[in-house]
Chains A and B, each alone.
Chain A
Amino acid sequence: MIDLSQQEQFDLDRLAEDLGTLPEAPLVMPVQTLESPITQSFLALFRSRLAPLTKTEQYKP
C-alpha cells in the first residue's frame, strides 16, 4: 500500500490499462438491413428538396 500523496510516482492509468486489457478474440458483427425500401422512399419524399442553385447559377441571365 502506498500513501495517496505519493501517487504521482506511479502511472496508475497505465497499470489499469495493462491489467484491464480485454482478450484479443475478434468476432465479426455484420450490419443488418432494417429499413424497408417502402419506408426509405416514403421518408425520401419528406426529405426531398430542390437542389440549391450556386451563386453563379442564380445570376445567370
Chain B
Amino acid sequence: MIPTYPPRSRVLVTRTVAVGTSIATAYGGFLLFLQFGTADGLDSFDILRSALICASTFWLAWGALTALAGLTTRPPAVPRQTEPITARTAILIPVYNEDPVTTFARIGAMEASLLATGFVHLFHFAILSDTRDDTIAARERMWFLRLIIETDGEGRIFYRRRDKNKGRKAGNIEDFIKRAGAAYDYAIILDADSLMEGETMVEMVRRMEAVPSLGLLQTLPTIIHARSRFGRTMQFACSFYSPIFARGLAMMQGNTGPFWGHNAIVRLQAFAESCGLPELSGKPPFGGHIMSHDYVEAALLARAGWTVRIDDDLGGSYEEAPENIIDHLKRDRRWCQGNLQHTRLLLAPKLKPWSRFIFLQGILAYIAPVFWLVFLTASIAAPLFAPPIDYFPIESWPFPVLPVSQVSKALGLAIGVVGLLFLPKILIVLDAALRGRVHGFGGTWQAVKSTLSELLFSSITAPIFMMFQTRSVIQVLRGTDGGWPAQTRGDSTLSFSEAWAASHWVMTTGMVVLVTTQWVAPALVLWLLPVALPMMLAPILIAWSSRPGSNRLFLTPTEINPAPVMVLQNAVITRWQMMAATQPEPLVDTRPTTPKSEPRLP
C-alpha cells in the first residue's frame, strides 16, 4: 500500500497555520512601523511605507513558515518497491543551442545507468531540438550518431529538430506528444543539463504505476558540478536548505503539487488531455505563449482531478545551474516575465484555490523586491514631506512637549525582518546537526561555516538582485519582451569589464542613493549602508563571485561522494571532449552494421 500524499486534515492544518501566521506577522509589522512612522505625525508616506512593510513581511514570513513546516512535519514515507515494471517511458530532453558534447554525454551516462537496472528496454530517449543555430544543429546530428553508435541505441534514442520553435519548450514537448505520445505510458521530462540515476527513473515509474490517479511526480533536483564562488554557494544552498523547504511545500500542497518544468515524470494520457496550452491574446510579455508553462501545467492537471506530487525522498535527480550572477539574472528575467504573465490566469475557470495561490506566490516573488525598493525610496523622501513637529500641541500649556522617540520600534522591526530571513537557515543547521545530515556537508563545523558564509554572501548580493529584479518587473510592465535567451553553460568566468558593462547602473544608483540620503536625511545613512554599499560594489562582487571557488567551503554530499551516474557522466564526457579536441568533429561510420560493433558506454 503506497500512501499518496499527506492526509487532507494535516494539509489543511499546515496551510491554515502557515497562512494565518504569515498574515499575523505582516499585520504586526504594519502596526509596528505605523507607530514608528507616526511619531512625528501621520502622513501619506507613513501609510504607504507601512503597507509595503506589511506585504514584504508577509512574503518573508511565508518563506520562514515553509521551512518551519519542513522541519516539524513530513509527508508519509513512500516505501521502496522492488517489483518489475512494465510501462514504457520516454525520456524527453529538450535542447536549445546547447553544447551537444556535454548534453549528449549526460544521455549516454543515463543510458548506462538504466542498463544496470535491467529495465533499459522500457526507456527511450527523445532529444527534442529547438536549436536555431545551424552550426550547433549540425554538431547535434554528428554527436547523436556517436551516441547511437556507442550505446547500440538505434530504435531507443531518437533525435528530431523542429523548423520553428513554436511555443518554445512547452511547444517542443507538445509536438512530441502529438507525434509520438501514444507510444508511451509516461514521459520523464528533463532539461538539457539534467542528470538522473537509472534507479530513480525506475522508482518514479513504479510510483506512477502504484497510484493510478497520480498525474505528475516531481523530484527535487540537486545542483551539481558548480565551480565558481557563486555557483558553489547556490549548490550548497540547494543541497542543504531545499530539501527542508520542499518538505514544507509538500506538506502544504496536498495533491496540488508543483511542477518545475524538468526532472519530473508525467502520465502522458493525463498530460495530453489536460495540458494543451493556449496562446494568450495580445502581445508578449503578457500575451502570446505561456512562458512559465510548468506552473500552469501543474494547475491544469490538478483542475482535471489528477494528483500532482513532489516526493522529496527521491534522490538521484540532478541539474546544473548558472555559474555567475549575470547568467542567473538572465534566467531570472525569463522567470519574472513568466510569473507576471500569470496575472492573466489568476481567475482561470475551475482552478483549485491552491493553484491560484501558487500563481500569486510566484508573482509576489518578483513584486516583493519592488516593494522593498519603493519602501527605501519612500523612507529617504519622507523627511522632505513630513509635517513640522508641533511642540505645543496642548493649548494653554506653556511648556514644549517633545515627541516620544519610536526608534526602538523600528529597531525591533529590523531585527524581526532579519530574524525571518536568518532563523530558518539557522534552524536547518541545527536540525542537520541533530539528525546527522551534516556528515554529507563535511561535518558540523564545515556545515556551520558554509551556512554562515552563505548567509553573508546572500545578504551582500540581495541589494544587487533587488535592483535587477525591479528592473525586470519595470521592463515587463512597460511591455518589453525578454525573449528566450539560451542558457550559458560551461566556463562562465566574468572579467571586470563584463561585470561593469552589466551592472554599472547598479553602482551608480547606489552612489546616488547614498549621496541623496546624506543630503536629505543624514540620520538614515547608517541604516542604508548595508543596501547601498553592495550596490556600489556590484561590478566587483559579480566578477569576483564568477571566479572558481575553494573546494574547502560549501562542500556537498555529491562532491564528497559523487553519485554513480555522475561518475559515468565524467567518464563519457572526458572521452568525448578528448575526441572533440583531437578531431574537429566525431568520426562517424555511415554503414548500418557498424553501430553494433562499437563498444558500449562509458
- Taking Cβ atoms with an 8 Å cutoff, the residues of A that contact B are 1-4, 7, 10-13, 15-17, 19-36, 38-40, 43, 47
Contacts and interface: CB of A to CB of B under 8 A. Distances in A.
- Range of interface residues on chain B? 35 or more
Interface string B292-310: 0000100010000000000
A40 B345 CA distance: 10
Given A27-B269, A28-B272, 18 more contacts: A4-B584, A12-B141, A15-B588, A16-B141, A16-B142, A19-B144, A21-B158, A24-B179, A25-B182, A27-B178, A27-B272, A29-B276, A30-B276, A32-B274, A34-B278, A34-B280, A35-B348, A47-B282
Interface string B102-145: 00000000000000000000000011000000000010011011
Interface string B141-178: 11011001000001001111000000000000010111
A40 B269 CA distance: 30
Given A32-B275, A32-B300, A34-B345, A25 B585 contact: no
B587 interface: yes
Given A1-B587, A7-B585, A27-B182, A43 B273 contact: no
24 contacts: A1-B587, A12-B142, A12-B590, A17-B141, A19-B144, A21-B160, A22-B158, A23-B158, A23-B180, A25-B180, A25-B182, A26-B182, A27-B182, A28-B272, A29-B178, A29-B272, A29-B275, A31-B277, A32-B276, A36-B349, A39-B345, A39-B346, A39-B347, A43-B282
A43 B10 CA distance: 39
B583 interface: yes
Contacts of A29: 174, 177-178, 181, 272-273, 275-276
Most buried by A among B176, B181, B268, B346: B181
Contacts of B142: 12, 16
Given A1-B587, A35-B280, A24 B275 contact: no
Contacts of B276: 29-32
A19 to B, nearest CB: 6
Contacts of A31: 276-278
Nearest to A23: B183
Contacts of B141: 12-13, 16-17
B575 interface: no
A41 to B, nearest CB: 11
A35 B345 contact: yes
Contact of A4 (B296, B300, B587): B587
B281 interface: yes
Interface in B178-228: 178-184
A51 to B, nearest CB: 18
B589 interface: yes
